[in-house]
């Protein structure tokens, strides 16, 4: 199969360090299966002042806004990564989240059309992130008469109307296959636009090193006291709330808390630890390669991150693959995958008291109960391997082409 995929977020020389490579996880697996994939990375380019004035405040903005802010203007180039052909397209606009000017949409359409002239019409057009993919997919379908798929990376859909106005409904309904990152997003979309004829959950997959490490390591938890957090230290992830909850539960008993990542809230985490007089070990590793995270997950009893606005949260599945007792936020990206009290726990985002209650419950579990939950966590993660989710995604695409 020949797939043309359009995405606003994709690994490049100009994206901020730490930008999610989630779409590349799908495309590289499709290439390994023998399919041809060409990615068009539709990257936003803002006026120079945006980068000049934003650069000194990048860490603060990342923390406050809850996503990575670019600190340099992107440039256009072609690339090949893991067998995936990539064309990085720089599209100008005045402000984040706003609609792209028509001229920029037309320019992107022309670039994609020039590749179609050389490579042939693909079997389908796939998009990730709605802006500007909704407009581009509509135009490509209108000219080339091939089916389209769009995967939304948001739990809310009010921004569609503010971006596309009266055109919203027609653009949304023109998509042949609609993908969602989690069941919360799917429910919210259906409430606003009705149930699509064809839809699916585009879950992320756990990479082979995590799956294999979990299979080769049988975690034994006797005394629960080792905790780990992996992610950005930003407001919406509530990293310092974990310290508050641990202090409530352990009081003067020792515990170990490891933070893997970076962000503007690091000082707040350390301050909370010192103010509460915690008796334990607080470790910051900084940002480390994903494969190195495996060793920390192996050594930890519990993974905890109760963030708000989580679209999926692959790191939860990675922790589960290593057998960690995993605590995630309820009604966020991992709903439908973590079953509370069976293969992990769900907590209200940012709620220190509920988190403390869950940790207390975990401390009271017997070694056999902990082992059973750890096993169920691994079992769940293995079902969501990168190979499995890429195959499921491709099977959904096949349905709209039959």
Q: What is the pLDDT of residues 246-257, one digit of tens each?
A: 999 999 999 999
For residues 325 and 341, membership in a common domain is answered with: yes
- 293: buried, middle or exposed (CB in 10 Å: 19+, 13-18, 0-12)? buried
For residues 95 and 175, membership in a common domain is answered with: yes
Residue with tokens 């709620």: 351
Name the residue range of residue 191's domain: 2-205+386-401
Number of separate domains in the chain: 2
For residues 58 and 100, membership in a common domain is answered with: yes
For residues 6 and 153, membership in a common domain is answered with: yes
Candidate from 49-53, 282-286, 293-297, 309-313 with smallest mean pLDDT: 49-53
For residues 151 and 247, membership in a common domain is answered with: no
**Residue length of the chain:** 402
For residues 196 and 254, membership in a common domain is answered with: no
Work out the average pLDDT over 110-136.
97
Whether 187 shows a pLDDT value over 50: the answer reads yes
Question: At CA 91, angle to CA 88 and CA 94, rounded to 5?
Answer: 145
Backbone phi, psi, residue 38, to 5°: -120, 120
pLDDT tier for residue 311 given thresholds of 50, 70 and 90? confident
For residues 363 and 391, membership in a common domain is answered with: no
Question: In this predicted structure, what is the pLDDT of residue 59?
Answer: 54
Q: How far apart are CA 383 and CA 298, in angstroms?
A: 19
For residues 148 and 277, membership in a common domain is answered with: no
Question: In this predicted structure, what is the pLDDT of residue 61?
Answer: 47
For residues 360 and 396, membership in a common domain is answered with: no
Candidate from 3-7, 24-28, 44-48, 174-178 with smallest mean pLDDT: 44-48
pLDDT tier for residue 71 given thresholds of 50, 70 and 90? low
Question: In this predicted structure, what is the pLDDT of residue 65?
Answer: 44
For residues 161 and 261, membership in a common domain is answered with: no
The listed range with the strongest mean pLDDT (59-63, 152-156, 238-242) is: 238-242
CATH number assigned to the domain comprising residue 80 = 3.40.50.2000
Whether 100 shows a pLDDT value over 60: the answer reads yes
For residues 43 and 190, membership in a common domain is answered with: yes
For residues 396 and 371, membership in a common domain is answered with: no
Question: In this predicted structure, what is the pLDDT of residue 380?
Answer: 97
Tokens of 398: 């096949």
pLDDT tier for residue 73 given thresholds of 50, 70 and 90? confident
């Amino acid at each position: 199969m020949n797939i043309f995929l359009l995405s606003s977020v994709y690994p490049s020389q100009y994206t901020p360090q730490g930008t999610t490579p989630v779409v590349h996880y799908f495309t590289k697996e499709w290439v390994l299966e023998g399919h041809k994939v060409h990615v068009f990375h539709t990257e936003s380019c803002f006026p120079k002042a945006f980068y000049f004035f934003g650069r000194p405040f990048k860490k603060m903005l990342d923390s406050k806004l809850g996503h990575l802010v670019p600190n340099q203007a992107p440039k256009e180039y072609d690339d090949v990564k893991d067998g995936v052909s990539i064309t990085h397209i720089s599209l100008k606009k005045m402000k984040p989240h706003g609609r792209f000017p028509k001229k920029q949409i037309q320019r992107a359409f022309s670039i994609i059309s020039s590749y179609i002239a050389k490579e042939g019409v693909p079997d389908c057009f796939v998009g990730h992130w709605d802006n500007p993919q909704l407009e581009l997919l509509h135009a490509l379908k209108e000219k080339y008469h091939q089916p389209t798929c769009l995967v939304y990376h948001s739990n809310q859909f009010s921004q569609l109307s503010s971006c596309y106005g009266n055109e919203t409904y027609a653009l949304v309904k023109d998509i042949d296959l609609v993908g969602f990152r989690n069941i919360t997003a799917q429910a919210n979309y259906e409430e606003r636009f009705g149930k699509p004829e064809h839809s699916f959950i585009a879950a992320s997959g756990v990479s082979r090193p995590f799956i294999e490490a979990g299979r080769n390591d049988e975690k034994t938890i006797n005394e629960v006291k080792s905790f780990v957090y992996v992610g950005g230290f930003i407001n919406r992830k509530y990293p310092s709330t974990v310290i508050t909850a641990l202090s409530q539960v352990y009081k003067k008993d020792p515990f170990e808390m490891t933070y893997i990542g970076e962000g503007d809230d690091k000082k707040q985490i350390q301050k909370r630890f010192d103010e509460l007089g915690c008796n334990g070990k607080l470790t910051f590793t900084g940002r480390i390669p994903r494969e190195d995270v495996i060793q920390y997950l192996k050594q930890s009893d519990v993974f905890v991150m109760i963030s708000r606005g989580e679209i999926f949260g692959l790191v939860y599945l990675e922790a589960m693959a290593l057998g960690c007792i995993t605590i995630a936020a309820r009604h966020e990206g991992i709903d439908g995958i973590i079953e509370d009290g069976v293969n992990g726990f769900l907590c209200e985002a940012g709620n220190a008291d509920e988190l403390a209650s869950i940790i207390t419950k975990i401390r009271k579990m017997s070694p056999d109960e902990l082992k059973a939950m750890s096993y169920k966590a691994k079992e769940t993660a293995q079902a969501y391997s990168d190979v499995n989710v890429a195959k499921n995604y491709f099977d959904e695409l096949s349905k709209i082409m039959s």
